[in-house]
Chain A
Amino acid sequence: MTDFLVRIHALSVITWSPFVGALLIMFTARRHPLAVRLIATVSVSVSTVLSILAYAAYNRDAAGFQFYEKAPLVEQLGIGYELGVDGISLLMVLLTSIIIFAGVFASWTVATRSQEFYALLLALVTGVYGVFVSLDLFVFFLFYELAVLPMYLLIGIWGSSGDVRPRGIFAWAYRETGVGSKEYAAMKLTLYLLFGSAFILVGIFALYVSAGATSFSFLDLEAASFDPRLQRWVFLAFYVGFGILAGIWPLHTWSPDGHASAPTAVSMLHAGVLMKLGAYGVVRMGMGLLPDAAASLVWLVGGIACINVVYGALSAMAQVDLKYVIAYSSVSHMGLVMLGAATLTEAGLNGSVFQMFAHGVMTGLFFALVGLVYEKAHSRAIFSMGGFGRAMPGIATAFTIGGLSSLGLPATSGFVAELLTFMGAWASAHPWWLVPAVAGTFLTAVYVLRVAKQIFWGPPSPHFSHLEDAKGPEWVAIVVLVAVIVVFGLLPSLALAPVDTATVPLLARILGP
């Protein structure tokens, strides 16, 4: 199996299959909505099936980077097309596959300009895959940009606007910039992330140059040792750059606006996968390449993560717009991800990676459901809704399961992630991190159940009629995501076994023998 996957260049196929799909859609499927969807489904399925196979075939005893491919691009500068996955990136690839597979079905009903929608979505996915599988930092960066840019159009064209009233001491600035509109959100997200990417680029080049300017390969840079002072600066650059994407406080404000405005599949992909990309970047590049700086700066990472957890949850509680609640919950959960990573313990780091996965699936589910609710009720205002459970029991059930995963109920994947994070936090050098982490999960329980109660329980709201449950292809998204949440919640070692093979050596590098 492994030979087969290596022989067909599985990682390349996984990465580029959606892109090929995008090209096919652009050039062949004009004005055939069903063909567009079928091409998208097939190209994504290829990636999904291959990533599941790769996941199964990954050799857990050998560990390290597998399914390795390399082709030189610019030999003089040391840029190469170098792909490989270890336990962490493999899980992220799997996550991406799951989310995009569900996302294709969740956006089945996109009516306007669906050809362009799917093409951009698939191009975006190629960027996401590419980021996770590329071992060459330069190529990594190119994929990163590919994963960010289509977002502008995806949100701008297919997004929805919210309602934000200009208030506070900066009220005039709100009128000036048009806060709340989808155009605003798209612009904010894109510019913010590109701003962050500038830091990443600076960091990459700093490492490249100080390692002798011979190679952008992650493996080569990993083998190099950098001056601790340089490490600190580059770590901070990575932390800010990737941190923006991961939604660290106070650089997170693009996320609620962006996710609330984005169309369903984009929110799923962005909150579900792209934010993880930020955390992944901090773990892989920040910690992996800069172990000394990581060891000396985790107090900062963890401290801010604690703010994220509590602050995100409280902000989520204050929202009256359904999509904003979910978006802020991502901010809170990304705090847990970063907190787990900052503990520098095996449990914590495993928890962090598992949380990336668990939260990705969970928030993907949430956005899929919220998209369905919005589509059927044409409203996002939580407190105008009520009693939807009668008309849409399936959505209500799935939302509850997602909510339970989000608040860390056992038997869902969210629990395992949170438990490991707690274990890591208390075992770390900063045991007090356990307090905000635990408080965050309680606050999550409060806002998630409050929202679920308001929307699905209680007497049916008089404002809505003709509500209906999910149907047809929409079920695919829901069922897949719910199944993943539960299966990985019951059998966490499915994910943790390969992850552990990657986190343990990483920790050994940071903490020393």
Chain B
Amino acid sequence: MAAQDLRDALVVLALPFAAFLLLGVVRPLRRRGRLAGIVSIVAVAAALVVAVRLELFGAGSDAVGLWPWLPGDGGPMASVGAVVDVLSRKMLVLVTLVSLLVQIYSLGYLHEESAPGLGRYFAYHALFAFSMLGLVLSPSFLQMFIFWELVGLCSYLLIGYYYDRPSAARAAVKAFWITRLGDLGFVAGIVMLWAATGTFDFAPLFAMAKEGTIPFEGFGLVMFLIYLGAVGKSAQFPLHVWLPDAMEGPTPVSALIHAATMVTAGVFMVTRAYPLFVAAPDVLWLIGTVGAFTALLAATMACVENDIKRVLAYSTVSQLSFMMAAIGSGVPRAGFLHLLTHGLFKALLFLGAGAVIHAVGTNDIFRMGRLFRALPGTGTVFLVGTLALAGIPPLPGFFSKEAILTGVWESGRTGVFAVLALTAFLTAFYMFRVMFVAFFGRAHAPYEHAHDAPPSMAVPLWVLAGLTVLAGLRLAMGGGEEHAPPWLLALSLALAVAGFVLAWAAYQAGVVSASALASTFPLSLVDSLARRRYFLDALYAGLYRGVMLGFSRLIGWIDRYLVDGLLNFLSACTLRGGDLLRGIQSGRAQDYLYGVAFGLLALVVWAQLWLRRP
């Protein structure tokens, strides 16, 4: 049975890969655009079927398959393979599901794209699905890193899908560089871990952690470096700056990669390697602290953002940090639960936002208004997503967030708990801010042309909305393994309602002036800092332009004009020396005779010196 599970998992993995190969190699097929999309969609749909079967009817036991990858003297240095367990089974379903829906949605969303461009888009999507599935199935750090980088590549390619837009090009490389910064920590960490333990595989590593071989000396550093990978990928402070910019990509991409799946890879990795992180409590503490801090930071930025996608992006950063904070506080299960639920409703929100943008042609919420009337379907599903994210029961966001808060509270990290609670309040605030401003606020322009999304876009929206509700109901009925204290439930709800009320007061009822609120100290300080993104983007730009490029120019100059210059100097001196020396060849016979005479003299003197040498 376990072998059957393993085979199923590999089939799930292979289907999108086959689609990618087909699209990558067969150029005519790729250039047919929609046909390419259908190929990819069929593959992912088949993968979803297998994944669901695996989740519902699989053996349920863990299965691992390993094949040697890097040969070495006395056994392979590294292996690749697949692991099927609770985590990976759930992730398989999530990834294939969201992938499928987003790809279907894309057919409608990108219907105006040229056929070759569309083909390229779906080829990237197929590659992404393969990579993400490979990541969740990884039985070893090394394989995880491989797919980790591949999903990063897909992210880079898809952010830069509109490659002739300079902003998209910039955002793509920015995302790649910044996540790369973390990834290098990751790879350095696993290399160190390998040097100390001789393996990349999770199973033996966990066994070592259990029997106490781990932690060894310097283990904290190793785990910190590995955690850096998650910092980059899951947009933790201070490497979170790429994610808002990544919204330059097509909106479905944001939904899939930058909300539901890829960005959660960091959380997934830390969850997967949790037995190791437990052995490094300092790192775990750091994960929790940074998570809480980032959650708040991102939430404040979401509150002042006007671009609907960027609000969602900051919200993603914030929610990812919730998960990280949960893991850091010792409740990885709660974090993972939030990962799954967030994947559903954030994809929903992004796709909804995509439908809105598709309809009105702008990202700025203050140039929207009364959209609910024009786009009732979209508005409804967006509202479902908003309620879920804000943490209104019985939608799933409430339960997973509440599980996190409970876990954090029980772990005794009061500071983290307080910050997260504040963030939960802000979450509700900024989401309802969008809701009120865009969907119920004053109309700034008439939207005669705005209409609800075509079926290829609407169906995925409704499916996601339905699944969100279903998941919430299931959690409400069967969930709640964590026995939260009632006051905490109340607090959660209260925070969400408070956020809603404040947003209503400020943006709908006009009871409170948002600008006046923002200009009172200390909110004014936060407001202005958040609007400037806490100067982090500027800092990175400065480091890049000033320090890195500046230093490279210095090195380039040194190489060209000093290192090479010295060589040229020597050659030029030689050439010049020849020129000078030929001056003695004056052409006058008597100078030549002087040569003979001096030669004789020099010979005699030299012989004298030689004879008289001590």
Binding site for B on A (CB under 8 A): 164, 167-174, 176-177, 179, 188, 249-250, 253, 257, 311, 314-315, 317-319, 346-347, 350, 387, 389-390, 393, 404, 407, 409-411, 415-416, 419-420, 422-423, 426-427, 431, 434, 438-439, 441-443, 445-447, 449-450, 453, 456-460, 492-493, 496-497, 500, 504
Among residues of A, the one whose C-beta sits closest to the C-beta of B116 is A393
- Inside 8 A of B571's CB, which chain A residues have their CB? 173, 176-177
- Inside 8 A of B559's CB, which chain A residues have their CB? 253, 311, 315
Known: A253-B559, A314-B551, A426-B195. 18 other contacts (CB 8 A): A168-B557, A170-B565, A177-B575, A249-B563, A253-B564, A253-B567, A318-B553, A387-B164, A393-B116, A410-B145, A410-B149, A434-B192, A449-B156, A449-B176, A453-B173, A457-B168, A500-B71, A504-B73
- Inside 8 A of B68's CB, which chain A residues have their CB? 493
Complex Cα distance A457/B169, Å?
6
Query: Which 9 A-B pairs have CB atoms at the shortest separation, nearest pair first?
Result: A318-B556, A168-B561, A173-B572, A170-B565, A410-B146, A317-B552, A176-B572, A457-B169, A253-B564
Is the Cβ of B549 less than 8 Å from the Cβ of A458? no
Complex Cα distance A179/B560, Å?
10
Is the Cβ of B181 less than 8 Å from the Cβ of A442? yes
Is the Cβ of A493 less than 8 Å from the Cβ of B560? no
Is the Cβ of A410 less than 8 Å from the Cβ of B169? no
Which single member of B73, B153, B568 contacts A173 (CB below 8 Å)? Answer: B568
Is the Cβ of A423 less than 8 Å from the Cβ of B563? no
- Number of residue pairs A-B, CB distance < 8 angstroms: 174
Complex Cα distance A393/B120, Å?
11
- Inside 8 A of A393's CB, which chain B residues have their CB? 116
Kindly state whether residue B540 has any CB partner on chain A within 8 Å: no
Is the Cβ of A445 less than 8 Å from the Cβ of B180? yes
Chain B residues numbered 66-88 whose CB sits less than 8 Å from any CB in chain A: 68-73, 77
Which single member of A188, A460, A496 contacts B71 (CB below 8 Å)? Answer: A496
Is the Cβ of A438 less than 8 Å from the Cβ of B187? yes
Complex Cα distance A115/B597, Å?
56
Complex Cα distance A415/B147, Å?
12
- Inside 8 A of A179's CB, which chain B residues have their CB? 564, 568
1/0 per residue, CB under 8 A from A, across B167-181: the answer is 011101100110011
Given A253-B563, A315-B555, A459-B166, the answer on whether A177 and B73 have CB atoms closer than 8 Å is: no
Complex Cα distance A434/B190, Å?
12
Complex Cα distance A443/B552, Å?
10
Interface range for B: 35 or more
Complex Cα distance A170/B69, Å?
52
- Inside 8 A of B142's CB, which chain A residues have their CB? 419
Is the Cβ of B561 less than 8 Å from the Cβ of A170? yes
Distance in Å from the Cβ of B58 to the closest Cβ of chain A?
28
Is the Cβ of A446 less than 8 Å from the Cβ of B548? yes
Given A253-B564, A459-B164, the answer on whether A410 and B556 have CB atoms closer than 8 Å is: no
Given A317-B549, A442-B180, A446-B548, the answer on whether A500 and B187 have CB atoms closer than 8 Å is: no
Distance in Å from the Cβ of A430 to the closest Cβ of chain B?
13
Is the Cβ of B576 less than 8 Å from the Cβ of A176? yes
Distance in Å from the Cβ of A436 to the closest Cβ of chain B?
12
Kindly state whether residue B14 has any CB partner on chain A within 8 Å: no
Is the Cβ of B172 less than 8 Å from the Cβ of A169? no
| Residue of A387, A411, A497 with highest tally of chain B CB at under 10 A | A411
Complex Cα distance A169/B566, Å?
9
Is the Cβ of A169 less than 8 Å from the Cβ of B160? no
Chain B residues numbered 182-220 whose CB sits less than 8 Å from any CB in chain A: 184, 187-188, 191-192, 194-195
Complex Cα distance A171/B170, Å?
37
**Sample (10) of A-B pairs whose CB atoms are under 8 Å apart:** A170-B569, A173-B565, A317-B552, A346-B72, A389-B163, A409-B153, A419-B187, A434-B188, A441-B184, A449-B156
Complex Cα distance A442/B553, Å?
17
Complex Cα distance A404/B180, Å?
12
Among residues of A, the one whose C-beta sits closest to the C-beta of B198 is A427
Complex Cα distance A457/B181, Å?
22
- Inside 8 A of B549's CB, which chain A residues have their CB? 317-318
Is the Cβ of B70 less than 8 Å from the Cβ of A449? no
Among residues of B, the one whose C-beta sits closest to the C-beta of A505 is B73
Which single member of B71, B149, B544, B575 contacts A176 (CB below 8 Å)? Answer: B575
Given A168-B562, A173-B568, A500-B73, the answer on whether A390 and B164 have CB atoms closer than 8 Å is: yes
- Inside 8 A of B70's CB, which chain A residues have their CB? 416, 420, 492-493, 496
Is the Cβ of B73 less than 8 Å from the Cβ of A346? yes
Complex Cα distance A317/B551, Å?
10
Is the Cβ of A423 less than 8 Å from the Cβ of B164? no
Kindly state whether residue B150 has any CB partner on chain A within 8 Å: yes
- Inside 8 A of B569's CB, which chain A residues have their CB? 170, 173
Is the Cβ of A422 less than 8 Å from the Cβ of B555? no
- Inside 8 A of B555's CB, which chain A residues have their CB? 311, 314-315, 318
Given A172-B572, A457-B169, the answer on whether A423 and B191 have CB atoms closer than 8 Å is: yes
